[in-house]
Amino acid sequence: MADPAGIDEDRVAALGRERLDWRFKAVPAAAHGSTVTEYLATRPTLDDLGTPLLTLDATALGHNLDTMAAWCAAAGVDLAPHGKTTMAPALWQRQLAAGCWGITLANLPQLRVGRAFGLRRVHLAGALLDPAGLAWLAAELDADPGFAFTSWVDSVRSVRLMDAALRAAGAGRPVDVCVELGAPGGRTGARSAADAREVARAVRAAPTLRLIGLAGYEGALAHDAGPAGLAAVRGFLTDLLALYERLRHDGSFEDADEVLLTAGGSAYFDTVAEVLGRAAGPGVRVVLRSGAYLVHDDGFYRGLSPLSRGAGRPLRSAMHGWARVVSRPEPGLALLDAGKRDLPYDEGLPHPQLVRGGGAPGGAVTALNDQHTFLRGAAVRIGDVVRLGLSHPCTALDKWSLIPVLDSADADRPRVVDLVRTYF
């Protein structure tokens, strides 16, 4: 059954009955044959797990969940967190239960995962143009009147391709779309307000589509919180708001039950709420799509999140890497048994935080190979297990199909309290 929060709670609960085996690299061989629920009942600890390893922290997850929910409520905006960050239905369920408006996804494979777990409201942050995918979507919409779906378009050709594919599929319900505004140097999106208005006119002329709002992604325009980056973000959002006002004046949203204005990754959502929030009110919903807040990190987002820059209570990193020293081949160099196949590295290298049973090791990670971490200048011995701070959750969880959740990564003997299943 689908719960009020918008996901099939029975399907999520069934994850506890999955049998553990060799497919899950985080799980020790001693657990093979047990279900997830049976294994957790043995009260395993971090010491029972091997390396390399990625873990989540239950205390930090709870803190981040509550912190973001409270911030959005105070700012008067809704949140449809980007599910691509975790691709974990159990975490989506927690986000929805905490008040999230829906779940954002990025592409057709992710959408199929979401529907397999009964997601009721999905915002697809991009264009869906694949004819076979649109035929599948049309069937999903027609079979389930409670399924709410929105995607984006940024060109007249996109509109025509969607309309043709949906007509060919015999779609009964129109597909709700937002016109996406972009900016030079950004990612997708119409590059001018004039182009966006032309796309809006094309949507209104397509009987298989319904124009319900505007979308944009400001995160592609800046990579820091310096004055130039923040100015670029604010300028883009101001343009998006002006486009909304023009289209509203033109009557472009008269078929929409509610107008949707959506932007906001995990780096500048405070500015999104401030600028687009001016339009929020009866009949207009402002929705953030921040996805990294739940897991957060000890790198890129720790430095860039608005809640790290004074906009509210800071988030906490809920992910850590664990790797064992397997070689000291020369003075000052230690090799750990985790690499690019295990840990994120695209937005900064891991950094050593502590040695299990000891203190801070010092030193720095200078490189990652496929299976090894190069740690230099650290006070570690062969056999030591090092906890690593990580950067960028969006490229961390995809390396693990089952992730242990610890009661607290800071405890002397962390206990495994859950196993989170991902579907990348």
Domain boundaries, the chain: 9-57+315-421, 61-294
Mean pLDDT score of the chain: 97
What's the pLDDT at 376?
98
CA angle 276–87–307, rounded 5-degree value: 40
In which residue ranges of the chain is pLDDT below 70?
1-5
Q: What is the pTM of this model?
A: 0.96
Look up the CATH number of domain 61-294: 3.20.20.10
List the one residue out of 106, 104, 105, 166 whose CA is nearest residue 141.
Answer: 166
Give CA separation, 331 vs 238, 327, 369, 379, 380, in Å.
Answer: 55, 11, 19, 11, 11
Supply the pLDDT for residue 1.
38
DSSP per position, 290-340: --TTTT--SSHHHHHSGGGTTSSSPP---EEEEEEEEEEEETTEEEES--T
- Which sign does the torsion angle of CA 155, 77, 98, 27 carry? positive
- Residue 164, phi then psi, degrees to nearest 5: -65, -45
Domain 9-57+315-421 indexed as CATH 2.40.37.20:
yes
Looking at residue 5, its pLDDT comes to 53
Return d(Cα 296, Cα 380) in angstroms, integer: 27
Measure the CA–CA gap between 212 and 61, rounded to whole angstroms.
33
Per-residue pLDDT, 4: 44
CA distance 345 to 343: 7
Supply 221's token pair.
């325009």
CB 292 within 8 Å of CB 79:
no
How far from the centroid of its chain's Cα atoms is residue 110's Cα? 11
Q: How would you classify the pairing of strands 416-421 and 364-368? A: unpaired
CA end-to-end distance (rounded Å), the chain: 24
CA distance 122 to 287: 12
Q: What share of the chain is helix, strand, coil (3-state, %, to 5)?
A: 35, 25, 40
At 291 the pLDDT is 97
Q: Rounded to the nearest 5 degrees, what angle is found at the Cα of 284, between the Cα atoms of 282 and 288?
A: 130
Alpha carbon 96 to chain centroid, angstroms: 13
